[in-house]
Amino acid sequence: MADGDTKNSGKNSSGNSGGSRKKEDPGPSVKDPEVYEALRDDGASKEKAARIANAAANTSREKVGRKGGEAGSYDDWTVDELRDRARELDVEGRSTMNKDELIKALREH
């Protein structure tokens, strides 16, 4: 190999071999790393995955799946109520979002 040439190791510019995201230790605050990783692989944010994984560890995975349904549908909320909830969750861009965009952002948070 000549000076200045580099060997292609099959890795992308970030050092990963591409495809899926790199598995990282979620840290001591996550009580069920298996659930956390499964949720992250499904596209959940770090915050949401940690919240669900910890809820699962505090009860049982089965109970966490049935837990929802206490709050009303976001479709029934006013725009002001949706913005207040988005503010609590620190959703960026909430002040310029319409009702449908707020609902989508809250559901994906």
Task: Give the Cα separation of 28 and 34 in Å (integer).
Answer: 13
pLDDT at 59: 65
Q: How confident is the model at residue 11 (pLDDT cuts 50, 70, 90)?
A: very low
pTM score, whole prediction: 0.39
More confident residue, 52 or 10: 52
Per-residue pLDDT of 18-70, as tens digits, reads 445 556 666 667 877 888 888 888 888 888 888 888 876 666 655 655 555 55
Per-residue pLDDT of 68-83, as tens digits, reads 555 668 888 899 999 9
More confident residue, 69 or 88: 88
Q: How confident is the model at residue 15 (pLDDT cuts 50, 70, 90)?
A: very low
pLDDT at 95: 93
